[in-house]
Amino acid sequence: MDTQNSLFSLFCFFLVCFFSGEQEVVEGRRLPWTSSPFGFRPKMLFVFGDSYADTGNTKIAETRSWKFPYGITFPGKPSGRFSDGFVSTDYIAAGCLGMKTPIPYRWREQLSERVKDGLNIAYGGTGVFDTMVAEPNMTTQIDFLQQLLHDSVYTKRNLKTSVAFVSVAGNDYATYNAKNGSAQDFPAFMESLMNQLMVNLKRIHDMGVRKIGITSLLPLGCLPRNTAPFSFQHCDDTYNALVDLHNQLLPQVVNILNQQTNTSNSPSFFILDLYNAFWTVFNRNETYQGNDPTFEKPFEPCCFGVSGGFKCGNVDENGENKYTLCSDPRSKFFWDGVHPTEQGWYVVYKTPAFQNSLKQFYGLT
Catalytic residue among 20, 88, 167, 339: 339
Q: Which helix (H) or strand (E) holds 47?
A: strand 44-48
Give catalytic status of residue 51 as yes or no.
yes
d(CA 359, CA 363): 6
Per the annotation, the verdict on 336 as an active-site residue is: yes
Distance CA 20, CA 338 (A): 10
Q: Which of 117, 172, 336, 357 is catalytic?
A: 336
Is 117 strand, coil or helix? helix
Strands 323-325 and 303-305: antiparallel
Q: What is the dihedral of CA 58, 167, 198, 173, to 10 degrees?
A: -80
Q: Are 348 and 278 in contact (CB under 8 A)?
A: yes
Confirm if 170 and 16 have CB atoms less than 8 A apart: yes
Q: In the chain, which ranges are continuous DSSP H helix? A: 2-8, 88-90, 97, 138-150, 156-159, 171-178, 186-206, 224-227, 237-261, 274-283, 342-350, 352-361
SS3 95: helix
Q: Which of 51, 162, 167, 268 is catalytic?
A: 51
Catalytic residues: 51, 336, 339
